[in-house]
Chains A and B, each alone.
Chain A
Amino acid sequence: MGELVGVISWMIFVPLGVGLGLAALTALARLAGYDLPAVAWIAVGFAGALFSAVLSLWMWLGFEPAAVVEYQFVEFLPWIPELGIHYFVGVDGFSLPMIGLTTCLVLIVLIASLDEVRDRLRTWVFCVLTLETALIGCFASLNLLQFIVFWQWALFSAAFAIGIWGRAGRVQAALKFLGMGTVGVTAIGIGALVIHQLHLEQFGVATFDLVAGSIGGSGLLDTLVPVGGGVRSQLFLFGAFGLAFAIPSALAPFHIWLADAQGEAPTGASVLIAGGAINLGVYALLRFALPLFPVAAVEWSLPIMALAAGGVVYGGLLALAQTDLKRGIAYASMCQLGLVSLGLFAFNVAGLEGGVLQLISHCVTIPALFLLAGMLESRRGTLAIDEFGGITKPMPVFSVFLAVSVLAAIGVPMLSGFVGQFLVLLGAFETAPWLAAVALVGIGLVAVALLFVFGRVALGPVKNPENRGLIDLGWRERLALLAVFVPMVWIGLHPETLTSRLHQPVLTLRRVMLDRVAATFDAYPDPRAERAIERLTDRGPGEGSASGGREAAAGVASELAERRP
């Protein structure tokens, strides 16, 4: 299935290879008594990252949005076949934008780090490149164990970035980030091992693959009936996967790493965490947790939506309370992520597409805000909001960028924030209108909070004499910001670019979930499975006949198939 070494592998491993090559070269040069300059690292590292970015663009262009096959650009390489551990990668409409954004953001981070990173620039470049490899490796994973390995790797890379180049409280923050992240990875790891074992016991096949990767192979989703002795065990297993989703997605109360890590991290790490690492939870959810345990997902959905909607309000209020710029942005990020969870767990088309759209928008707006904060920090050495005021006078271009980013983040139409937000709310209003209303209040709060931040930083007279002589953004900084602004405007103006690629995976996901819910219902007649069918088919209680779950599901599946573009 697919070529042996294809575009995705190049994309994953070229950054790592470049990093290792540079390290080896530096060591060799040092032996020869010569020191490889940091600029060479940046230049070569940038070239490597650019290579990945060009490949991701090429993949974006070659991707067929309406293709019937679930995954494109698939590569499969047996690794430990006895245990079902393979190198198995491929993309669909969910992962395509995540990968594209990651490659872009790495480029931006490398450009920005020329102004930002003061010491150990070479190590920094190495760290960023390994993080890129790990992130792309995650987003392309179709093998559960491979995903977990790359995830843990990404956590280490990001934690190093925070711990070495961060602000005063960096070590604490890095440990917290690493610790909580590892809890999530451990949870999903244990879950993976358990389903692997159960799968082996029930179906006699040892596999971590999602679907069959090779001819004669077998995947976890190939057997319709979920593993385990019934709905109860699925609830536990989904709990493990759900924890792995909740921690990176900053679902309250698992968000406590966020403000510390993002507040203390260097700008580059903040950007890559907000634009890359945070997606890992959503990827785990969409790729593994929802298809594997749909009944449990539906059963858990209302509490999770409640946490998400509460998180939006909570994040908004805490953003209002912050005195530090980066921490304020971190809580705004929590708000947006709450909306993502709210939409995804509505399980309808609007909610799922809106959730992913909101996530992508988050990956653009929050990094832009962090970049801007970093530019202020590198000029003033502080991020206390009260230190600033009237920045527009000395730094007008900065102010314009800040204003547009804030507007995009609070969901002004024609910028990226609005479309995802609207679809999420539309989806959530369908299943839990009062929770959606709560989230709507939270959106208002975070808007006020971000606007206050803008006003206190940029407007008014310049009171602090230290701000009087600030130098406006240089060309490099403008370029880095423009690179984030292009998707920011484009997503808002023409979200079809993304949604046309999301229609197919969303329909597939809903179909897989329905099929498996129906199979579960046949295998273990359980009221929870029946409820899940009702929820996923979006029919009122009593309409679906008790025994006809599978028929109802099949009917809806064909209905869904008809609606395909």
Chain B
Amino acid sequence: MVEDGSYAWLRWIPLLPLIAAAVHGVSLGLLRRPLPRGATIALSAGAPAISFVISLVALIELTAMPEAERVLVDDLFTWLAAGDFGAEFALLLDPLSAVAALLITGVGSLVHVAAIGLQGEDNRDDRGFNRFFAYLNLATFAMLTLVLAENLLVMFLGWQGVGLAAFLLIGFWYTDESAPRASMQSFIIGRIGDFGFLAGTLLLTRGLARQGVSGTAFPEIAAGFGDLIGITLTAPPALGGEWQLSFVIAGCFAIAALARSAQWPLQLWLSGIHVAPIPAGVMVLATSGGMAAVFLLCRLYFVFETETDVMAILAWCGALTCAVGSLAMLVRTDVRKVLVALTSVQLGLVFVAAGCGAPSVALFHAVTTAFFMPLLFLATGSIIRATRGQTDLQRLGGLWDYLHRTKWLFAVGALAVIGAPLTSGFYSREGVILAANLTESVPYNGALYLLLLATLFATGSAVMRLQLRIFHGRCMLSADVRSQVSEPDGVTLLPLYGFAFLAAMGGFLGPAAALNPFPVEDAVSNSLANFLIPLLGTGVSLEHQAGSVGLAVLSTFVSAAGALLAWYLIHERPELGLRLRQALPKLDVLRGLSLAAIYEWAIVRPLLWFARVGLWAGLELRVLDGLFRGSVRSIRATATGALRAAHAGRAGDSAIWMVLGSLAIASYLVA
């Protein structure tokens, strides 16, 4: 298995889902013969499951190695080489990618299994089932390639793959009016991120080549990056004259990360995710979109580390995403939209942590988000299924007595997302709060901290609102729907139990070991952060965490206060709640309109107008074509004039001219 330090079996981790996707692609896209249902399930859900097992083996292999040498490489072939530049098609497994790969394959497998039940019944065309699994497999492949990439080029392959999978999954119901629009929006915003990624890659590669580092593998880049600090780029004076190269590179990658995880101000495409099937929404937002971005930040942390300005931008973009998302989740009435906003808030917290200099905390929160958000999404999927597609919070209610399993699953997810003590969300959120509290590099960090507390308050309210509106109060369903309410079968619910377990217990993976109420002997050294320390540094140091109990109490209190307020408003003072809810959309509309409108009126429309009227109708057709036609006309006029003189009216007979011309040339040559 192991030859000369090469681990050739690593390639099967991303390859298996790709093969599954390719089989579906050929059977659906070319032959139009979908696989039978059983084969689809075995192939599509089996592939990530086997990948999970391989990742587990790899992790075990990794932990058996000495701490400084924990790297497995699988070099497939030389992808692209020209001159000094060379990029291998290679996979690299180190602690960071091992954690990410485990998460993606593990969570991915659960989502696949859940999709069997949820998607199997929610079908509008005969091949939808297979198509859906093809997309899920593709998304899994893309994510695995992204995290296992050995260099930036392979990572870009995964990066674009994630964007493509998001495009396909969001636009799954392609015959609808809204789904294609939403998916295009996601792709275009993703394209902005791709621009950042590609520009950053090119600048980094070129800069390093100038310093004599010709390799593109991450370890080499990380080692060589220090030489780039202090180098300036000369720009035209209109663009500010001189730029620090390291700042520009970090900025480019920051754009990429912000776009991929729908952070402010690039979060427009979030609004469309709810049109996708529920498992697709999970895949796009919770497991791939956010994870891809935070993984990029962690993998390239050496780029961001020294650029405090970029870090501050990341933190503030994250905080603003939290603010915007908080507003949205309080006023939306579609349960799927509330969940999308809730996820976006979690990703905002991730960026706050990363921007505050705690990448391992950021990664940890992304991991726990990938535990509890799928749980909430899938439980909601079960609710929507049970109520025959009802997604309006105003029309749900009183389901506590009907959905005996789903209600508990949902409750676990709800507790985790508001960060109830001992759940996974608690630990990761504490890390974020702590990071925001301790940071000194982010300007106005006091305001940032207050904004986070407000977000916690809003999260508590929103989740309580969901709980009350779905499960309590009067049941609004019609009698015949109510009589047929049923839960999905065990296979569909099984992954939900898995997610529930992770959401409840996942916190013990985390770096907040000091908060661990069950002190295990090796808790600290086994924690995620310690595993990642060689790559990411310590982030928030453990000494600080001992004093963080006060913070934990405060933030828990704030969340609980939010939840209590929601309970009070809905349960005790519904008329006040209604008035508040009617007032809040105005704020929300203002927000939604402004960003969308700014893009629409400041960029899209002027650009299209410029292209259509200025360039196409004006420059291309009038000026350039006119010049061409004008010159043809004048040439023809001269030629016919000359011909008339020479030939008395035999105009246009160019053959004569050709003969004359060739004679002239020949005589010139021979002479």
Contacts and interface: CB of A to CB of B under 8 A. Distances in A.
Interface of A: 82-83, 176, 179-180, 193, 196-197, 253, 256, 259, 314, 317-318, 320-322, 348-350, 353-354, 390, 392-393, 396-397, 400-401, 407, 412-414, 419, 422-423, 425-426, 429-430, 433-434, 436-437, 440-441, 443-444, 447-448, 451-452, 455, 458-462, 472, 478, 482, 494-496, 499, 502-503, 506, 563
B583 interface: no
Given A353-B82, A400-B29, A499-B81, A429 B202 contact: yes
B191 A444 contact: yes
Interface stretch (B172-180, B279-287, B357-365, B527-535): B172-180
A400 B79 contact: no
Given A256-B624, A353-B82, A447-B191, 13 more contacts: A83-B669, A197-B669, A256-B625, A349-B83, A392-B175, A413-B156, A422-B80, A422-B198, A433-B206, A441-B195, A458-B174, A460-B175, A495-B79
A419 B668 CA distance: 48
A397 B85 contact: no
B499 to A, nearest CB: 32
A455 B80 CA distance: 31
B440 interface: no
B148 to A, nearest CB: 15
B134 to A, nearest CB: 11
Given A396-B29, A460-B174, A413 B202 contact: no
Contacts of B32: 396-397, 472
B83 A318 contact: no
A429 B153 contact: no
Given A256-B628, A413-B160, A459 B174 contact: yes
B610 interface: yes
B570 interface: no
Interface string B173-216: 01111011001100110011011001100110110010000000
Given A423-B80, A423-B82, A193 B180 contact: no
Contacts of A314: 615
Contacts of A494: 77, 79
A441 B195 CA distance: 7
A419 B78 CA distance: 12
A451 B82 contact: no
A390 B202 CA distance: 38
A433 B239 CA distance: 13
Given A400-B29, A434-B236, A320 B81 contact: no
B83 A348 contact: yes
Contacts of A176: 628
Contacts of B191: 444, 447-448
A321 B30 CA distance: 32
A563 B81 CA distance: 13
B235 interface: yes
Contacts of B209: 430
A259 B80 CA distance: 33
Interface of B: 25, 28-30, 32, 77-85, 153, 156-157, 160-161, 164, 171, 174-177, 179-180, 183-184, 187-188, 191-192, 194-195, 198-199, 202-203, 205-206, 209, 233, 235-236, 607-608, 610-612, 615-616, 620, 624-625, 628, 632, 665, 668-670
A184 to B, nearest CB: 14
A318 B669 contact: no
Contacts of B28: 396, 400
Given A318-B616, A321-B615, A321-B616, A434 B235 contact: yes
B611 A317 contact: yes
A407 B187 CA distance: 12
A461 B175 contact: yes
Nearest to A319: B611
A302 to B, nearest CB: 14
B157 A179 contact: no
Contact of B30 (A318, A441, A478): A478
B157 A414 contact: yes
A455 B175 contact: no
A451 B188 contact: yes
A413 B175 contact: no
Given A412-B164, A440-B195, A455-B184, A462 B608 contact: no
A354 B83 CA distance: 11
Q: Give the secondary structure class of B's interface.
A: helix
Contacts of A82: 670
Given A400-B29, A434-B235, A478-B30, A390 B175 contact: yes
A443 B195 CA distance: 9
6 contacts: A197-B668, A429-B206, A440-B199, A459-B180, A462-B175, A482-B30
B206 A317 contact: no
Q: Give the secondary structure class of A's interface.
A: helix
A426 B205 contact: yes
A440 B195 CA distance: 7
Contacts of A397: 29-30, 32
B77 A496 contact: yes
Nearest to B194: A444
Nearest to A413: B157
Given A318-B616, A462-B175, A426 B233 contact: no
A374 B632 CA distance: 31
A472 B28 CA distance: 13
Contacts of A317: 607, 610-611, 615
The 10 closest A-B pairs by CB, nearest first: A349-B83, A459-B180, A400-B29, A413-B157, A317-B611, A321-B611, A321-B616, A353-B82, A321-B612, A350-B82
A320 B175 contact: no
A494 B205 CA distance: 21
Contact of B80 (A419, A430, A444): A419
Contacts of A451: 184, 187-188
Given A253-B624, A440-B195, A499-B82, A459 B171 contact: yes
Contact of B607 (A83, A320, A350, A447): A320
Contact of A496 (B81, B175, B628, B632): B81
Given A317-B615, A440-B199, A452 B620 contact: no
Given A459-B174, A495-B80, A436 B202 contact: yes
A506 B81 CA distance: 13
A221 to B, nearest CB: 20
A256 B192 CA distance: 29
Contacts of B174: 390, 392, 458-460
Nearest to B198: A440
Given A193-B665, A434-B235, A496 B78 contact: yes
A375 B373 CA distance: 45
A157 to B, nearest CB: 17
B233 A433 contact: yes
A420 to B, nearest CB: 10
A496 B76 CA distance: 13
A425 B202 contact: yes
A407 B153 CA distance: 17
B26 to A, nearest CB: 10
Contacts of A193: 665, 668-669
A397 B25 CA distance: 10
Contacts of A419: 79-80
A88 to B, nearest CB: 18
Contacts of B156: 413
B180 A196 contact: no
A318 B85 contact: no
B628 A320 contact: no
A419 B192 CA distance: 19
Contacts of B175: 390, 392-393, 460-462
Given A193-B669, A353-B82, A412-B160, A425 B198 contact: yes
A55 to B, nearest CB: 29
B78 A256 contact: no
B395 to A, nearest CB: 26
Contacts of B187: 451
Given A193-B668, A317-B615, A413 B78 contact: no
B190 to A, nearest CB: 10
